[in-house]
Chains A and B, each alone.
Chain A
Amino acid sequence: MKTYFYIAKLRMQTMLAYRVEIFTYMIMQCLMMVAIGFFWIAAYGDNEVSHNVTVDSMMTYNVIATLMNSMYYMGVEDRIADSVKSGSIATDMIKPVSLFGMYLAEDIGNLIICFFRSTIPLLAVGALIFGIPAPASPKHFVLFLSSFVLGYGINWTFSAIFAMISFTAINLGPAFSVKYHFVNMLSGSIIPIWFFPQWLQTTVNCLPFVYMFQAPLSIYIGKYSINESLNALAIQAIWFVALTLLLIFAQRRATKRVLVQGG
């Protein structure tokens, strides 16, 4: 465990070196949050409520979605793709720690830095422009926190599994791009899927993407009652376990491949 703490600490120090990068990224996210927020205000127009969600809740949804986005920094994706390409995966593998444990520790390090450098400033700006994004109730907030953790887990394992494709394919650009746009659109991080037509909603509900963003957010703004929230949490847990098992399986297979290649 101590090793992983150390890895996370190292990663935090590295991240601190990229001050300009984090700051620029934060400004971009900030502009995006403002753009989307005012888009909702304009779209709602005179309508007070749409799909049982008021304008104010929608603002909260948008701000919290931005905050979550700033913390969902999935470094694992590029990390695997790059190290397979450059061959440094071999040195990663001979280290006496679990490969994915190490990557997760690095991403937790990223998350901590992003929390202080991006999330808190974004929250301040969001609160100034759109009002304080308060949760529906303290109970909802507690449920949201656990839902957020599970959402992070789903997102991380999904990214890791996805990046494993790089063990077999060389040019991953198109695949990453498709994944990025799918996660962006089908997770409800920009537009909640309750605006989609019914058939699409049914389809999207069977995919893991909604459980990365929309489920925690729906809990936060109180679109889900306590019972519904618990339901969503259960489904999230199932997805998380399923994806973790898949990751372990994929890692075993990929490790064998690498051994063959490396020689």
Chain B
Amino acid sequence: MKKLKHYCSVAMLSARLSIQSCIEYPIAFIGWLISNPIQFLVGFATIKFVVMEFDTIAGWDFKELAFLYGVSILSHGLSVIFFTKTWYMGWTIIHGEMDRLRLRPMNTLFQFLVGELNFVGFTDLIPGIILFVYGCISVDFKWTLYNTVAMICTIIGATLLRGAMYLGLGSITFWSKSPMNISGFLQELFNRTNMYPLSMYPRAVQFVFSFILPFSWICFYPASEFLGKDSLIKLPFGMAFITLALGIVMFMIACRIFSAGFKQYESAGS
């Protein structure tokens, strides 16, 4: 119990530090505040242009696509706040930054993830919230008890799924010892596979994105259930809970990979 309290206080403290350090450089923050929404504006605009040309994509109209995009971007914004550190893991490991964490009497992964919360991520979250609200209004989303719970599960699950993927792939650096910067690409892949309905792909591709690389659980399956759309997997209810469960499981696996890698971590010399 005392330990838990200690961990909480450290988390609070680091959150405060991160906010303070962010206020220290207001211009950089404003820069991100302008630049981050642009990418979602661009993404949103491209959906609009394509739909203007072809009306619907695999039976989804613009409003439904906006809803799908909104859920996806909201979870993206949350994942940016909590998991940005994992994007630069390769760099952190190569430069021996992990040594510092290792010396402290605390769980390393906790320190790594919580220790440096990314306050700048709020610049991603704000457009996420706006798009999410817009999407919900445009499809007239019903906030019943079940729907609300399911939506919360979806968003938590989706955030964890994204985070797990960043963490797991980032941990490869422990073995490969070469800094890989694929996070930007991974983000784009996540967004692209959740921007459009999965049902537009041939079955084989749907299978890949559902079971081998579970990208589509981020929000396509829950969203298609909310909207009552056809998809590869038919369930009467509960897609959102699968997303949550999958998110938790994947995240635990990613933590395992991290610990396994950390165990055989050699410092970068000097």
Question: Is B229 an interface residue, CB under 8 A from the partner?
Answer: no
Question: Is A47 an interface residue, CB under 8 A from the partner?
Answer: yes
Residues of A with C-beta under 8 A to B52: 195, 197
Question: Is the CB–CB distance between B192 and A36 below 8 Å?
Answer: yes
Known A20-B172, A35-B192, A38-B205: A173·B54 in contact at CB below 8 Å: no
Docked CA distance A152–B182 (Å): 22
Q: Which of B180, B186, B201, B213 is within 8 Å of A21, CB to CB?
A: B180
Question: Is the CB–CB distance between A50 and B53 below 8 Å?
Answer: yes
Minimum CB–CB distance from B24 to chain A (whole Å) comes to 11
Question: Is the CB–CB distance between B205 and A174 below 8 Å?
Answer: no
Residues of A with C-beta under 8 A to B109: none
Using CB atoms, name the residue of chain B closest to A194. Answer: B53
Using CB atoms, name the residue of chain A closest to B31. Answer: A174
Question: Is B232 an interface residue, CB under 8 A from the partner?
Answer: no
Residue ranges of A at the interface with B (Cβ–Cβ < 8 Å): 17-18, 20-21, 24-25, 28-29, 31-32, 34-36, 38-39, 41-45, 47, 50, 171, 173-175, 177-178, 180-182, 184-185, 190-191, 195-197
Question: Is B178 an interface residue, CB under 8 A from the partner?
Answer: yes
Residue ranges of B at the interface with A (Cβ–Cβ < 8 Å): 25, 27-28, 31-32, 34-36, 38-39, 42, 46, 49-50, 52-54, 57-58, 169, 172, 176, 178-180, 182, 184-186, 188-189, 192-193, 196, 200-202, 205, 213
Residues of B with C-beta under 8 A to A28: 182, 185-186, 189
Question: Is the CB–CB distance between B50 and A190 below 8 Å?
Answer: no
Question: Is the CB–CB distance between A47 and B186 below 8 Å?
Answer: no
Task: Tally inter-chain residue pairs, CB-CB below 8 A.
Answer: 98
Known A24-B169, A38-B202, A50-B53; further 7 A-B contacts with Cβ < 8 A: A25-B185, A36-B192, A43-B54, A45-B54, A182-B38, A191-B49, A191-B50
Question: Is the CB–CB distance between A34 and B205 below 8 Å?
Answer: yes
Determine the main DSSP class of A at the interface with B. Answer: helix
Using CB atoms, name the residue of chain A closest to B60. Answer: A42
Residues of A with C-beta under 8 A to B188: 32
Residues of B with C-beta under 8 A to A21: 176, 178-180, 182
Q: Which of B28, B50, B57, B205 is within 8 Å of A173, CB to CB?
A: B28
Docked CA distance A111–B189 (Å): 23
Residues of A with C-beta under 8 A to B46: 185, 190-191
Residues of A with C-beta under 8 A to B58: 42
* A–B Cβ pairs within 8 angstroms, 29 of them: A20-B178, A21-B179, A24-B180, A28-B185, A31-B213, A32-B192, A34-B205, A35-B192, A35-B201, A38-B201, A38-B205, A39-B196, A39-B200, A41-B200, A42-B200, A47-B54, A171-B25, A171-B27, A171-B31, A174-B34, A174-B36, A175-B35, A177-B39, A181-B42, A185-B46, A191-B49, A191-B50, A195-B50, A197-B49
Q: Which of B172, B178, B182 is within 8 Å of A17, CB to CB?
A: B178
Question: Is the CB–CB distance between A35 and B180 below 8 Å?
Answer: no
Question: Is the CB–CB distance between A171 and B28 below 8 Å?
Answer: yes
Question: Is the CB–CB distance between A178 and B193 below 8 Å?
Answer: no
Docked CA distance A191–B213 (Å): 25
For B28, B35, B186, B196, the residue with the greatest tally of chain A CB atoms inside 10 Å of its CB is B35
Known A20-B172, A177-B35: A195·B53 in contact at CB below 8 Å: yes
Question: Is the CB–CB distance between A42 and B192 below 8 Å?
Answer: no
